[in-house]
Amino acid sequence: MFADFTLLFVGAFFAGLVDAMVGGGGLVQIPLLFNVFPGIAPATLFGTNKAVSIVGTAFAARRYLGKVDMDWRVLWRAALAAFVASFAGAAAVGLFPPQMLRPLVIVLLVAVLVYTLKKKDFGAPSHSVGRKPRPVLALLLGAAIGFYDGFFGPGTGSFLIFLFIRCYAWDFLRASAAAKVVNVSTNLAALCWFVPVGAIMVKVAALMALANLAGAWVGAHLAMKNGALFVRRVFIVVVSVLIARLTWDVLSA
């Protein structure tokens, strides 16, 4: 039991570190929870993951505030739409298996990776020229990603970062900081679904949340210290790993 909790603690720290920079913390935490607690209902494991993630995500967002320029004209609309849509996505899980989305998500992530690698200046500081807030676009972006996060989830942070750069010409650091704000909203919406039905292991979540918070502190510090180009490199690695992981899941199934 001690070994299991040590593994959960270390895994949550690493998840918080990576997630604070480019998202993808669920890549670590969800498989870890399923491996340590194979007999627990999946809904409880997903709820526990969300309870852990919101702590690290909120702390990372707080670390970025004041250090990174945030365009709140975009963010408050995207976050609000994401909250509503994430709750709707969680409620829609019973309509058809979320796993059916895996092949489509793999294709989209490959497209994101290829586009990022092909355009060398994509998300670079010199690329961040800024654009009008376009409120309707912010609402649509938040709604689409929010629903996806509530319904399925893998790659949410990566999709947010890519879309913020593509639609608003932000650099990777600014897009990553903005993604944390929207992620707090989607995680909160998911918890509004999981908490009332008791689908959270409170003690496990509390332990992992401490580690996730510490990891988020380190991850946000590294991102701000090393800048947009460093975040771009981490983004490419995490998206590549996510593609490999989802492809493995599809082939195994």
What is the full per-residue pLDDT of the chain (253 aa) written as tens digits?
778 889 999 999 999 999 999 888 888 888 889 889 988 888 888 889 989 999 999 999 999 987 888 889 899 999 999 999 998 887 776 677 767 778 888 898 999 999 989 888 787 775 544 556 688 899 999 999 999 988 888 789 899 999 999 998 899 999 999 999 999 999 999 888 888 878 889 999 999 999 999 999 999 999 999 998 899 999 999 999 889 988 988 888 6
End-to-end CA distance of the chain: 30
Rg (CA), the chain: 17
Per-residue model confidence (pLDDT) at position 61: 92
Instruction: Name which of 157, 219, 164 is nearest 185 in CA terms.
Output: 157
Q: Distance between CA 246 and CA 253 in Å, rounded?
A: 11
Q: Distance between CA 84 and CA 153 in Å, rounded?
A: 15
Per-residue model confidence (pLDDT) at position 197: 78
Question: So where are the chain's domains?
Answer: 2-252
The residues with which 65 forms a beta bridge, in sequence order, are 68
Which residue's entry shows tokens 């509004």?
192
DSSP count for the chain of H helices, then E strands = 10, 0
Per-residue model confidence (pLDDT) at position 126: 55
Per-residue model confidence (pLDDT) at position 14: 93
pTM of this prediction exceeds 0.85: yes
Per-residue model confidence (pLDDT) at position 177: 93
Per-residue model confidence (pLDDT) at position 131: 59
Per-residue model confidence (pLDDT) at position 44: 86
Per-residue model confidence (pLDDT) at position 94: 64
Distance of CA 154 to the CA centre of its chain: 8
